[in-house]
Amino acid sequence: MDLADEIVIPARRDAVYASLNNIEILKKCIPGCQKLVAKSKTELAATVVLKIGPIKATFNGAVMLDQTRAPQFFSLSGQGDGGVAGFAKGEADVELAEDGATTILKYTAKAETGGKIAQLGNRLIYSTAKKLSKQFFGNFEAEMVGDRTAD
């Protein structure tokens, strides 16, 4: 399953990039995030509770960051184990383009599921992934606007 979108964030690219690498901000923005811990500069451990259709599961997983082309581009990949519910894994490429005092954030993501979750069907999984993605970026934009008005 592939996802792609673009949003405009009312902040400069360096602030957006820094916020995307801030554990506390990410924890607030990730839907269902119970725990987010930096294991190193490029590896995070997460616990997320999600409901996909009739299945509610707690996913424990790891996220790896590739910041070699930062702050304009960066990538991340991860996987989570939801126990009997199954697993989810994916990767995303993010581009941050400066546009005056705003930043255009473009992303493309690929996701794969297995186990009971995969049995729910691609349409339900895709709509849930899209909803969670929009929720994350809506939360992130709200955090950025809040940060900007606090200055």
74-131 per-position pLDDT tens digit? 898 989 999 988 998 888 999 999 999 999 999 998 888 888 888 888 888 888 888 8
CATH classification of the domain holding 135: 3.30.530.20
Tens digits of residue pLDDT in 2-47? 889 999 999 999 999 999 989 999 999 999 999 999 999 899 999 9
Residue with tokens 């294991």: 39
pLDDT-derived band at 60, boundaries 50, 70, 90: very high
The answer to whether the beta carbons of residues 110 and 77 sit under 8 Å apart is: no
Specify burial of residue 116 (Cβ count, 10 A radius: 0-12, 13-18, 19+).
middle
Measured at the CA of 131, the angle between CA 126 and CA 135, to 5 degrees, comes to: 150
Domain region containing 41: 2-150
CA distance 74 to 67: 5
CA distance 13 to 96: 6
Q: pTM for this one? A: 0.84
